[in-house]
Structure 1
Amino acid sequence: MAKGYYISKNMATAAMVLAAIALVTIIALSIVYNREKSKNAAKSMNVTTSMVPPTPKTSNELWDKYRLPDTLVPHHYNVTLWPRLVMDANGMYVFTGNSSVIFTCLKKTDLILIHANKLNLTLFNGHHAKLMGLDGVTAPAIKTTWFQTEMHYLVIQLNGNLKPGKSYWLYTEFRGELADDLEGFYRSEYMEDGRKKIIAITQMQATYARKAFPCFDEPAMKAVFHITLIHDPETMALSNGQEIKTENLNIDGITVTRTTFEPTKKMSTYLVAFVVSDFTYIKAKDKKGVLVRIWARKKAIEEGQGNYALSITQPILEFFEMYYNTSYPLSKSDQIALPDFKAGAMENWGLITYRETALLYDAHTSANGNKQRIVTVVSHELAHMWFGNLVTLKWWNDLWLNEGFASYVEYLGADHAEPTWNIKDQIILYDLQRAFAVDSLTSSHPLSRKEEEVNTPSEISEMFNTISYSKGAAVLRMLSQFLTERVFAKGLGNYLKQFAFGSTVHSDLWDHLQKAADQTSVVKLPRNVHDIMNRWILQMGLPVVTIDTRNGNISQKHFLLDSQAVVERKSEFNYEWFVPIKWMKNGQVQDQLWLLQKSAIHKPMKVSKGEWVLANLHASGYFRVNYDLENWERLLSQLESNHEIIPVVNRAQLLDDAFNVARASVINVTLALRTTKYLLHERDYIPWEAAWRNLNYFFKLFDRSEVYGAMQVYVKKQVKPLFKYFGTLTSNWTTVPSGHTDQFTQIIALSLACSTGVEGCRDLTKSWFRRWMQNPHTNTIHPNLRSTVYCNAIAAGGAEEWDFGWKMFQNATVAAEAVKLRAALACTKVPWLLNRYLEYTLNPEKIRKQDATSTIGYIASNVIGQPLAWDFVRANWDYIFKVYGAGSFTFSRLIGDITYRFCTSFELSQLKRFQKDNAETGFGSGTQTLQQAIEKTTAKIKWLAENKEPVLRWFISESA
């Protein structure tokens, strides 16, 4: 049961005002429309005569700070918007609207600061702002207003002071561009039945609600939103709340539909959402009567592409209700698949928005991996309905609390929906090991940063990174393991109940988990939850735990890929952690222990001859493990004699730890390489995926040197049995395995076999692709294998194969199929084709804006395309940054992708020159990724100087 809140007299008055506003909305918008028609067509959107130039101030500079002052708090908004889905006389798509907000004054002030992005919003002449007091209070007159462009404020200077404890009503009318920039209130274009169609959609996270209407755009500034949309009668409108009234009207001779929605729950501005489109839906109701709808393009729904998402939404919602012990707070759950969407998905409360690939599944063309992505993304977003939406972070420095949590429990929800997939173990591949790769750099950052480190929109966007998502998930998984899942869930439920419709910091969660732990005798902690967890979230990095089985000594050290690098960020904990260690001896699980200092003796870990120790059982802890040489040798012997004695997750962990500890020059690289010898006998997906990633790192490190040939011969020998195994299992590649993860392993077998030249593999993929080229309307290649087949066939071919792939990409009606083709087109070995493809990324008619940076990344992953992509990005940096620089994952990944192979002094100098030459333009959310690229390149240069020759000799010796 969620904590309630009462409506005061002021709020009751506010509700009456809002009702009155609703009655005059159409009149106001009609005036707006007439005014817009009479405007000079040449007048710039960004010029407004309503703004009085600011009077110079010396005593008050609140508008020069990125954070809102603590003087006002909003309660209700009434927002009416009218998006025009046809181009106006100036060649623009626009929206008009009005917004009112009721707020309470907390401290005496003569200043109202409210977020509004001048680059997108123009306030109407004569209607720049209106202020009224509520409950008999007289509001001071507005003295002057202006935009503070850098901080995105509409500044309203008053002639007198607002009174503490009193409530006021602020009204604005505005006009904005419905641009195609994928932010705020924007437009998306797509083709259907030969017609271009326009839809209006939103992406408010993190700081884009201010582009749609003036608002207090900070996560803790929660309020209730009353949304009304005016739109073409042939379209439908959606918002966070259920639609409660739809009526046709005539405004100045134009027939429109007005859709009014039920008030939202109290929530943050970044969760506000609305869509105007001609989409359709399928629906169902869960056991408690919650309406569940899946929305998409009409053809996609007609073809059944929304059916899978609908089938899993209900069980996942029910699972989280049970897990959180809290009912779903809303009356409906809409989920909509969008043609253009920057993020993978967005957890808007009651109206979740997705890329098509994250929600739509076509049984004929979507792969098994596409299906898994849908169930995990849907689970992630539904998890946010409670953790993030019902209870929200106070400020973006604690973003991990939202995203890390959802990234952890998405596996629990997905496992409930698909219990035979054993999906929970895959967290070590997609979160744990991914986080390790970033957190082992000195340019990493703590999960929870200081508030003063996260202020600007770019700094906020930068928080949407691997640390917040993947490390957050891994650390919370570790916490749930040592608390037990039952205690963890109990603490979460109590936390959600206390802070429902409010905002918190991470210590609030620790309080409730500690209380839950205190109420059970099962959990025995060496320190309280605060002391344990603060070491994991308030300092960056991770430890490597070294176990010496000769004497039982256990020690920890801050793990860095470059062990000589200087860590400039100070830590109050001196980079020591309280480490929970689950372990086994000779296959027998032992009692968990804690390492609470730099080193300690644990006598049971001193073993006799022939015994071995394996620590971090099931990779439950957020740390790497190293052993004395004798124990490593015994583990390697166990892998080769009977690898199944070691749990499947730990086989992947051993591979990944060994390779990365070797990259840090802690152990000999040949020891790490030896962990791959047992792969001749391995058939499970998770170890092979871990091996593939580490071998791929080596491939890209050496594919321009003489090491590559010898490495290719060795890997060919190791993958050949796997290729033959699946050839037999699938009747010579005519079927797919029945097991969920076996289908993933089959893909690895085909991909590695083709890339290393296993006999028959390339002929197989070329023949499949050629057969499709001969009959384009019938694609017999299994969806699971298409990415690999397309890539290999296009790589082996020329312009004919590329042009065919491009045509199929343009004609693709299923988003998942389009992604496969778009990635495969980057596999060609023909430089002019790659350069042409790079140029296509500048043209949204050819490559959608949402896909441009990832397409460049695909090209950069090609050894021939990498220098072309690097030159292209440098030459077009100003444009790329302007269009994509405010993005989160997508933009920062671009910098990582184009520099992934860098490992020479010359490339390092180029990277530093790039950083210097573009310092004025900036790097936005990619700033930290650029610093990481410099650090990674520096470390690789040093490592190669010491290890290149030993690696070459080892591959030659093992390839015989």
Structure 2
Amino acid sequence: MAKDTHISKAIAIAFVVLTISAIAGLITMIILYKAQISAMNPTPPPTVPSTTTVLPPTMRLPRSVIPESYEVFLRFPFYTKILEVVNVTSPNQTTNFSGNTTIHFQCVQRTSTIYIHSMELEVSEAKVFNRNTDGEIQVSSMSSHEDHSEFLVIELNEALESGGNYSLSLVFVGELYHNFDGAYISSYTEGVPSHEGDKSADRFLIITNNEPIYARNVFPCFDEPEMKAVFNVTIIHRRQTTALANAPVDKIQLIDDWKYTRFHSTPKMSTYLFAFAVSEFEATASSYEPVVIKTYARPEAVAAGHTKYAAEITGKILSFYENLFEIKYMQQKLDQIALPDLSPAAMENWGLITYQEGALLYEEGASSSLQKESIATIIAHELAHQWFGNLVTMKWWNQLFLKEGFATYISCFAVDHVEPSFNMKDSFFASELQAAFEVDSLTSSHPLVPPEEDIQRTYDIISLYDIITYSKGAIVLRMLEDVLEAPAFIQGIRMYLRDLSYANGDQNDLWHYMQKGADANNRQVDVAKFMDSWTKQIGYPVITINTTSGEISQKHFLFNDSSQSSLVWDVPIRVMSKTFLSPKPVFLKTSQPEIWDELISSSGDWLLANVNCTGYYRVNYNPENWEALLTQLETNRSLIPLMNRMQLIDDAFNLARAKIVNVTLALNVTRFLYNETDFHPWDSAMRNFQYIYLMFDRTEVYGPMQTYLRSQVRNLYMFFSNSTDHSQVPVDHMQQQSQTLAVQVACNSGLPDCVAMAKRMFGLWMKDNTNIIHPNLRHWIYCEAVASGGKEEWDFAWSQYQSTNDTSEKYHLRHALSCTKKIWLLNRYLGYTLDPEKIQQVDAAEIVSSISKSVAGQVLAWNFIRAHWDYLSHGGPAVLIHAVTSRFSTQFELQELERFAADYHLGSAERVVQQAIEQTRVNIQWVSEHKDVLLQWFERETAS
């Protein structure tokens, strides 16, 4: 039986109501439910004895039997709202469900043992039938191994014969929790409660989240991506609710208080894509023949038009992918549903895509342009999965980048198609590249495709859902397209998807089809050899170029250079100067220095490598070339491509962190920002200044650094202040991004004009309850107003948070509440995260991460995480650990972190904690070596 889990008092009441009101129709329900079980014995079976079955040598399922199809019946005796007040003696009720499944399978290797996954389910009966003879095969024993392999092991009295067709029928019960895995309960409030404690507006729904290995929590199944099958599903649920699943509805029967919803057969798919929802949600329909597209959400959100934007762009993105891949979308319908509670942001279930509300709902006049961009990107990402992941699936989880890297990369093209003003190919890859670089500069990173034998445990699998898989995966695919060029790349994709439809593949299959695309387009590249160096090895190289001698070399880039590494990559090098651009990349394939004549520059000229940042590597130059590049940036920056202006900043700062160049070089690169108005260079600079802030905001470096940033950002801030007075925003999307960043940097650095503007606008909102702050600027204006204010401003923001159901506004206010400088208010806010009535559990980790960004908040958050790790780790432990430890730079903090690693059950956070330990060691040494140099530089730059 599954372990007990606490849920809210409202859910407990609903459960008691359920047990009272269900009695009248229970006899009819039992008869009908048993009829669905068909050949299963309607009387309770005797207890099947457990055995000491020897498990297979790995955590993987044996390949002796292969599933073909499932018949799944699930019954949920659960109400979606409170019907009446019921006295409850215990607030810790749980909610159960029951079901049965019949699995049709083929035996491919003679065996008398069936291994199947089952977790947190009580399986009461198992029967096996020979479909060739219609005879039953007796079960001798059944044993569960939840603490080890999560296998249900079924021993038979006689062997299954190779080539035979069989069926396995199982009866089981399980429990619904509120933990975001498997089938779980989500809750929301419809409208505004009439008084504190009023539960009449509370609503509940049942939803699934089965990736990567949680379908086994819903029904016993062969829960591995290669074990694809067809699913035939019937859901028995309360009459007033609607059930959705992967496939369209086939038939609905209404009997008393119950609704039987039978769905059509799904395509052949992996278990992690199995999904359903039971709710009272409503939908916005959109037309895209012949696919029926519906976007579901809370009735209040649908009525307010918050699903309209998603409904408008979904069909356009589907059409784009169909034309790009030359394969039609494979189902008759596509449902999307916005959920109050979901971790992660979205899940690509075939035909029923689930989203966090903030990832799908857009409110005109309340949501920012950045949120609109995010919604479009996430929808495009999930729709890309309908091909990459759903139609063609990785063979095992170590190949996860085949779906996540591809969906991340391809989604940018789809967004550029439906929203060309977003300029996503530049914007997205700028952030993806720098995010991947940061993590991949540590020895505790991992290869994009780790060895299969290293990814066996549940924690191993979950830990792969990280920046390396998503961001590095996208970047190396972008690099491959640059090398092959688009026609060959797209041709390879089309063949890969066509030939492996409804099947599984690995990276070798992908390289095979990419090679065919390359050969057909006369591209002289050994694809497998080139890509294996980027997918099978940890990290990335730094390329060093001397423009005086023409020497070029590569070396593994690491923040901790004491780590010895002999790794070598096939590196595509493309260079440019004022008068020259390489027509195609040239490969550097050796660790030994080489002399390339084309890299020699005459005195005073500059040379730039990795043009437009299409390669996954950093570049360092001889001092003369760095000086020439800096001079060009300060005199006429437009001659250097925008993406390279961004990357020169990022490379210089990170080369300094690795002690390859002097930190003063990195700081000198930022001087040109005084006249820069484009978003990407500023964004890159602030990402990197953030590291210096975190290392030195507890020292005397902080003051001069703030003064320098105020002077640098003043021009950018005043440009938008003069043109819009911050009551309006520019028309151009990227200029809107620049304006938002200008407000962020100006207010954070204490520019008086910005601080006064934020206090004035927020004060007007408090005074007359009319919010004139543009949605683009609310995030940072709210933050500055709360930071500069006291209890009155904080309480006002909290009251606004409680009274709104708008997802975007809640996000801005959650962040603002963490900006206060009052320690007691931060402690109060941390306490609120433990109360689901105040803060949903899915948002708790985000809030603690935000609080940790300030000096005072970081100490509070670190203590809080350790005190409440079990609760907080459900909502994204990797982000939480990264945020709260990013300032660690003392021996005491290192010791505390090492003690945390030793004393706590970290689960999937194990790798990120090890990365934090490694980064803290690097920080300690870097701070001790660079504090005086930084202080002198900032004081000299701001002396006048």
Normalising by structure 2, what TM-score? 0.92
Q: 8 Å contact 2:341–2:842 — kept in the other structure?
A: yes
Letter in 2 for 1:873: I
Q: 8 Å contact 2:226–2:270 — kept in the other structure?
A: yes
2:849 corresponding residue in structure 1: 857
Correspondence for 1:74 among 44, 63, 67? 67
Q: Offset of 1:524 from its aligned partner?
A: 3.1
Matches of residues 780-929 of structure 1 in structure 2 within 5 Å?
780-881=772-873, 884=874, 890-918=876-904, 922-929=905-912
Q: 8 Å contact 1:583–1:617 — kept in the other structure?
A: yes
After superposing the two structures, state which structure 1 stretch, 529-538 or 811-820, moved more.
811-820
The reply on whether 1:670 has 2:672 as its aligned counterpart is no
The reply on whether 1:648 has 2:642 as its aligned counterpart is yes
Q: 8 Å contact 1:582–1:617 — kept in the other structure?
A: yes
Q: Offset of 1:49 from its aligned partner?
A: 9.1
Q: 8 Å contact 2:117–2:223 — kept in the other structure?
A: yes
- Provide the secondary structure at the position in 2 that maps to 1:260: strand
* Unpaired segments ≥5 residues, structure 1: 1-23, 40-47, 568-573
Matches of residues 476-875 of structure 1 in structure 2 within 5 Å?
476-521=477-522, 523-525=523-525, 528-566=526-564, 574-586=566-578, 588-591=580-583, 592-598=585-591, 599-730=593-724, 732-776=725-769, 778-875=770-867
Q: CA separation in 2, counterparts of 1:394 and 1:954?
A: 53
Q: 8 Å contact 2:239–2:254 — kept in the other structure?
A: yes
Matches of residues 163-242 of structure 1 in structure 2 within 5 Å?
163-193=161-191, 194=193, 195-242=201-248
Change (3 A) 1:550 1:50: farther
The reply on whether 1:326 has 2:309 as its aligned counterpart is no
Any idea what the Cα deviations from partners look like across 1:434-466, whole Å, max 9, x if unmatched?
000000100011000111111111111001011
2:918 corresponding residue in structure 1: 935
Correspondence for 2:281 among 276, 279, 289? 279
Any idea what the Cα deviations from partners look like across 1:188-224, whole Å, max 9, x if unmatched?
0111033111100000001100111110000000000
Q: CA separation in 2, counterparts of 1:600 and 1:375?
A: 45
Q: Offset of 1:243 from its aligned partner?
A: 0.9
1:4 corresponding residue in structure 2: none
Q: 8 Å contact 2:727–2:772 — kept in the other structure?
A: no
Letter in 2 for 1:804: F
Correspondence for 1:152 among 144, 150, 153? 150
1:14 corresponding residue in structure 2: none
Q: CA separation in 1, counterparts of 2:557 and 2:687?
A: 20
Matches of residues 462-481 of structure 1 in structure 2 within 5 Å?
462-481=463-482
- Provide the secondary structure at the position in 2 that maps to 1:760: helix
Any idea what the Cα deviations from partners look like across 1:286-311, whole Å, max 9, x if unmatched?
2x411111111111111111111111
2:931 corresponding residue in structure 1: 948
1:134 corresponding residue in structure 2: 131
Identity between Structure 1 and Structure 2 (%): 43
1:9 corresponding residue in structure 2: none
Change (3 A) 1:262 1:365: same
Any idea what the Cα deviations from partners look like across 1:70-101, whole Å, max 9, x if unmatched?
11110100111122323999832222221111
2:48 corresponding residue in structure 1: 52
Q: CA separation in 2, counterparts of 1:52 and 1:94?
A: 22
Correspondence for 1:29 among 27, 33, 36? 33
Q: 8 Å contact 2:761–2:773 — kept in the other structure?
A: yes
Q: 8 Å contact 1:51–1:146 — kept in the other structure?
A: no
Q: CA separation in 1, counterparts of 2:101 and 2:854?
A: 50
Q: CA separation in 2, counterparts of 1:654 and 1:868?
A: 36
1:11 corresponding residue in structure 2: none
Q: 8 Å contact 2:182–2:210 — kept in the other structure?
A: yes
Matches of residues 96-495 of structure 1 in structure 2 within 5 Å?
96-117=98-119, 119=120, 121-124=121-124, 128-136=125-133, 138-150=135-147, 151-193=149-191, 194=193, 195-250=201-256, 255-286=257-288, 288-495=289-496
- Provide the secondary structure at the position in 2 that maps to 1:635: helix
Q: CA separation in 1, counterparts of 2:543 and 2:429?
A: 18
Change (3 A) 1:163 1:914: same
Letter in 2 for 1:915: A
Q: Offset of 1:912 from its aligned partner?
A: 1.0
Q: Offset of 1:670 from its aligned partner?
A: 0.2
- Provide the secondary structure at the position in 2 that maps to 1:588: coil
Q: Offset of 1:839 from its aligned partner?
A: 1.5
- Provide the secondary structure at the position in 2 that maps to 1:361: coil
Aligned residue pairs total 892
Letter in 2 for 1:123: V
Q: CA separation in 2, counterparts of 1:303 and 1:851?
A: 23
Letter in 2 for 1:756: S
Q: Offset of 1:139 from its aligned partner?
A: 4.3
Q: Offset of 1:30 from its aligned partner?
A: 5.4
Letter in 1 for 2:209: Q
Q: 8 Å contact 1:794–1:802 — kept in the other structure?
A: yes
Q: 8 Å contact 1:137–1:166 — kept in the other structure?
A: no
Q: Offset of 1:880 from its aligned partner?
A: 3.9
2:12 corresponding residue in structure 1: none
Normalising by structure 1, what TM-score? 0.91
Change (3 A) 1:603 1:51: farther
Q: Offset of 1:429 from its aligned partner?
A: 2.6
CA RMSD in angstroms, aligned pairs only: 1.9
Q: CA separation in 1, counterparts of 2:341 and 2:428?
A: 28
Q: CA separation in 1, counterparts of 2:579 and 2:921?
A: 40
Q: Offset of 1:31 from its aligned partner?
A: 8.2
Q: 8 Å contact 1:51–1:147 — kept in the other structure?
A: no
Q: 8 Å contact 2:727–2:773 — kept in the other structure?
A: no
Letter in 2 for 1:187: I
After superposing the two structures, state which structure 1 stretch, 487-496 or 187-196, moved more.
187-196
Q: 8 Å contact 1:342–1:850 — kept in the other structure?
A: yes
Q: Offset of 1:879 from its aligned partner?
A: 4.4
Letter in 2 for 1:946: E
Change (3 A) 1:649 1:279: same
Q: 8 Å contact 2:844–2:872 — kept in the other structure?
A: no
Q: Offset of 1:370 from its aligned partner?
A: 0.6
- Provide the secondary structure at the position in 1 that maps to 2:422: coil
After superposing the two structures, state which structure 1 stretch, 748-757 or 872-881, moved more.
872-881
Letter in 2 for 1:278: E
* Unpaired segments ≥5 residues, structure 2: 1-27, 194-200
2:23 corresponding residue in structure 1: none
Letter in 1 for 2:101: S
Q: Offset of 1:619 from its aligned partner?
A: 0.3
Q: CA separation in 1, counterparts of 2:348 and 2:136?
A: 37
- Provide the secondary structure at the position in 1 that maps to 2:258: strand
Q: Offset of 1:51 from its aligned partner?
A: 4.9
- Provide the secondary structure at the position in 2 that maps to 1:864: helix
Q: CA separation in 1, counterparts of 2:795 and 2:171?
A: 50
